[in-house]
């Protein structure tokens, strides 16, 4: 079981970072265990990894991983839904103990927070276009608008590939709606996210090869060695005993807890 609250944190997190000089607040595992609750951030707008549940709260791959981590650390889990770009600031400010938010490791993020030793899932970055699209690759979309979710590695991927017409959206759901309405000619996201969206009725198709591989980690504040060690051990155990595989197959339909062969 988990509790959830909607967090509008951009202003408050900015204030917190201003007051603390932008320094990360290390989260001590003993403090979490003393509270009996671990606060975990995720966007809640990234199906099938985190999405609203018909029963209330959130559900998805990331939610199940967070709850399993809490179980193995012996604490309850408080899932906090917040905008993806503000998650790292929240960890730095001590608002969140950690994030299970489908975050990739980048040099910029690594300056602000620490990552689990190993990814908890592996995916690829894929373009999706309307079924009627004649596009065959990113190059064939030169000069045309391509959508991405704000604050993700997908924005940088497009820029690195030389694409200069990028439209950012709050999340994948908004982006898929824009794609269907013709406001963008393609949308870039993780391969598994697009595949599940298609399975759930979104009228689009993958185009071209996977642009790059994507590995996803749990993130937490710097200088939190006890918490890092506990999370890393729990993830290792979850991988070894098949828990991550089971969660992956439940939400994605295949095992992405290990690299594709």
Residue 63 lies in a domain: yes
Same domain, residue pair 162 and 33: no
In 3D space, the residue among 17, 167, 149, 158 whose CA is nearest the CA of residue 84 turns out to be: 149
* Residues spanned by the domain of 130: 123-214
Provide DSSP, 52-86.
E-TTSSEESHHHHHHHHHHHHHTSEEEEEE--GGG
Same domain, 104 and 209: no
226 and 116 share a domain? yes
Is the residue at 61 inside a domain?
Answer: yes
Helix (H) or strand (E) holding 126: strand 121-130
The CATH number assigned to the domain holding 240 equals: 3.40.190.10
Q: What is the pLDDT along the chain (261 residues), one digit of tens a residue?
A: 333 344 444 444 443 443 344 444 556 899 999 999 999 999 999 999 999 999 999 999 999 999 999 999 999 999 999 999 999 999 999 999 999 999 999 999 999 999 999 999 999 999 999 999 999 999 999 999 999 999 899 988 999 999 989 999 999 999 999 999 999 999 999 999 999 999 999 999 999 999 999 999 999 999 999 999 999 999 999 999 999 999 999 999 999 999 987
Indicate if 117 and 131 belong to the same structural domain: no
Contact yes or no for 203/180 (Cβ under 8 A): yes
Q: Is the pTM of this model over 0.85?
A: yes
105 is a domain residue: yes
117, 127: one domain: no
User: Is the residue at 259 inside a domain?
Assistant: no
Does residue 186 share a domain with residue 222? Answer: no
The answer to whether position 261 is within a domain reads no
Q: Note whether 200 and 92 are same-domain residues.
A: no
Give a yes or no: residue 13 inside a domain.
Answer: yes
**Same structural domain, 225 and 161:** no
């Amino acid at each position: 079981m988990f509790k959830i609250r909607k967090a509008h944190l951009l202003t408050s997190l900015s204030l917190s970072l201003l007051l603390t000089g932008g320094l990360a607040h290390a989260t001590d595992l003993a403090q979490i265990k003393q509270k009996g609750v671990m606060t975990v951030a995720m966007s809640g707008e990234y199906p099938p990894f985190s999405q609203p549940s018909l029963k209330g709260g959130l559900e998805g791959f990331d939610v199940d991983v967070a709850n399993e981590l809490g179980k193995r650390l012996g604490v309850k889990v408080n899932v906090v839904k917040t905008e993806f770009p503000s998650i790292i600031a929240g960890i730095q400010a001590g608002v969140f103990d950690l994030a299970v938010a489908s975050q990739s490791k980048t040099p910029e993020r690594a300056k602000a927070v620490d990552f689990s030793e190993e990814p908890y899932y592996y995916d690829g970055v894929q373009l999706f276009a309307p079924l009627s699209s004649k596009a065959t690759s990113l190059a064939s979309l030169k000069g045309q608008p391509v959508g991405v979710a704000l604050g993700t590695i997908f924005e940088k991927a497009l820029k690195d590939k030389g694409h200069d017409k990028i439209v950012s959206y709050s999340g994948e759901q908004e982006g898929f709606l824009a794609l269907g309405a013709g406001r963008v000619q393609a949308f870039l996201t993780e391969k598994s996210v697009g595949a599940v969206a298609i399975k759930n009725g979104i009228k689009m198709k993958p185009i071209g090869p996977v642009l790059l591989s994507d590995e996803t980690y749990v993130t937490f504040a710097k200088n939190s060695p006890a918490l890092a060690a506990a999370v890393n051990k729990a993830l290792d155990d979850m991988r070894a005993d098949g828990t991550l595989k089971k969660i992956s197959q439940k939400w994605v339909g295949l095992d992405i807890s290990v690299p594709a062969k």
